[in-house]
Amino acid sequence: MLFKRICHIGVVMPTIEAAHAFMGQYGLEIYMEEETPYQSHCIFTKAKPNESPIEFIIPSGGPLQAFNGGKGGLHHICYEVDDVEKAANELRAIGCRLLEDEGVMTGCGSKINFVRPSSSFGVLVELMQDSPT
């Protein structure tokens, strides 16, 4: 497999205020923020050594807004890869279905794609090339 490491854990939050409250409760700091191509605002936390950051996803519309009945929760695990297309093709070769035909560029310059939960034992897995974290 072409996976390098767990890049981050994605958590959907119903509001920015809820994300900030969670960060305050657990002493997390903001590393960066961006808008995604999936109708949502994302906040990445700073990671300490040997940690993976958390990506808080605050939907502004689309299917993520209704995730877990609108309450949010654990959404995905992201693996950093050297090449999204190669990793996607390797997974397709063993029968996995991906969300996109080709990787999608994010606002921070990373290229991503997702393995559908139906192909990943119920877990949504993100593949990220050129991780900002």
Domain boundaries, given as residue ranges, for the chain: 3-129
pLDDT number for residue 133? 63
pLDDT of residue 60: 94
CA 43, CA 32: separation in Å to the nearest integer?
A: 6
Q: SS3 of 50, please? A: coil
Distance, CA of 37 to CA of 32 (rounded, Å): 16
Whether the predicted pLDDT of 132 surpasses 90 = no
What is the pLDDT at residue 28? 94
| Mean pLDDT, all residues of the chain | 92
- CATH assignment of 3-129, given 3.30.360.10, 3.40.1280.10, 3.40.50.970, 3.10.180.10? 3.10.180.10
Question: pLDDT digits over 50-89, tens only?
Answer: 888 999 999 999 989 998 998 999 999 999 999 999 999 9
pLDDT of residue 42: 95
Mean local confidence (pLDDT), 106-111: 88
CA angle 89/93/98 to nearest 5° reads 55
- Please state the rounded mean pLDDT for residues 102-112: 91
65, 3 in Cβ contact below 8 A? Answer: no
> In a 10 Å sphere around its CB, with 0-12 CB exposed, 13-18 middle and 19+ buried, how is residue 31 labelled?
middle
Report the pLDDT value the prediction gives residue 1, as an integer from 0 to 100. 58
Residue 37: predicted pLDDT: 86
